[in-house]
Amino acid sequence: DTGVSQDPRHKITKRGQNVTFRCDPISEHNRLYWYRQTLGQGPEFLTYFQNEAQLEKSRLLSDRFSAERPKGSFSTLEIQRTEQGDSAMYLCASSLDGGAVGNTIYFGEGSWLTVV
Amino acid sequence: AQSVSQHNHHVILSEAASLELGCNYSYGGTVNLFWYVQYPGQHLQLLLKYFSGDPLVKGIKGFEAEFIKSKFSFNLRKPSVQWSDTAEYFCAVISYSSASKIIFGSGTRLSIRP
């Protein structure tokens, strides 16, 4: 158990519906990341937070995607007007400060999204 | 463009065979390097990491990796694989110029025949 929790683990939704994923990081971690992973590919960076501030967003994160971390603890990732191309696993990860300073980034088990 | 390349998409070995999975990156400057493993149905777990010092890094479960700066490589090795090593393996990099995020390769699926 890594300590990063994601909910729900699986979500099937109809095209055009909105979905929201929640991530609870390891409690003392101030950095929180969102990644997307499709079959046969490595995780792709979407966005990250330092405490409650969203500091970087990938170009993969279209206007239909929004992420928040209102109190610097848990985070939500919302996808509006889902499309079939959004079908993927959405991974959350957390770390104490950044990985570049020697801290390990811990991943959650992911939330599988299937858009039908 | 900055990238991480894993040349082997699927590797099939018999138990007790030796393993080497290739990883190359295209970042300049100082980098930190990682290998993550994803067992079937499980989350990504850190196998090992390199930040500085000895370029030969030892990780969990008998894995090791060697950082060769001149070749921009960080290959993963294990002298004798077990059936339980069946998993997907991801090489990943953080560059000091983009210290905010870890960039992954596309992964190598390892299948071990019992």
Beta carbons of A42 and B44 less than 8 Å apart: no
The structure tokens 């729900």 sit at: A8
Nearest Cβ partner for B100 among A55, A104, A106:
A55
Beta carbons of A102 and B46 less than 8 Å apart: no
- pLDDT at residue B2 in the model: 73
Scanning every residue of chain A, which has its alpha carbon at the shortest distance from the alpha carbon of B96?
A100
Cα(B24)–Cα(A90) distance, integer angstroms: 25
Are residues A42 and A26 in contact, defined by beta-carbon separation less than 8 angstroms? Answer: no
The bridge status of strand A106-107 relative to strand B4-5 is unpaired
Instruction: Decide if pLDDT at B61 tops 70.
Output: yes
Cα(B67)–Cα(A33) distance, integer angstroms: 26
Q: What number of other Cβ atoms are within 10 A of residue B45's Cβ?
A: 15
Cα(A58)–Cα(A47) distance, integer angstroms: 6
- pLDDT at residue B36 in the model: 96
**Partner B contacted by A61 (CB < 8 A):** no
pLDDT in tens, A34-93: 999 998 889 999 999 999 999 989 988 889 999 999 988 999 999 999 999 999 999 999
Q: What number of other Cβ atoms are within 10 A of residue A113's Cβ?
A: 21
**Partner B contacted by A41 (CB < 8 A):** yes
With bands split at pLDDT 50, 70 and 90, how would you rate the model's confidence at A19? very high
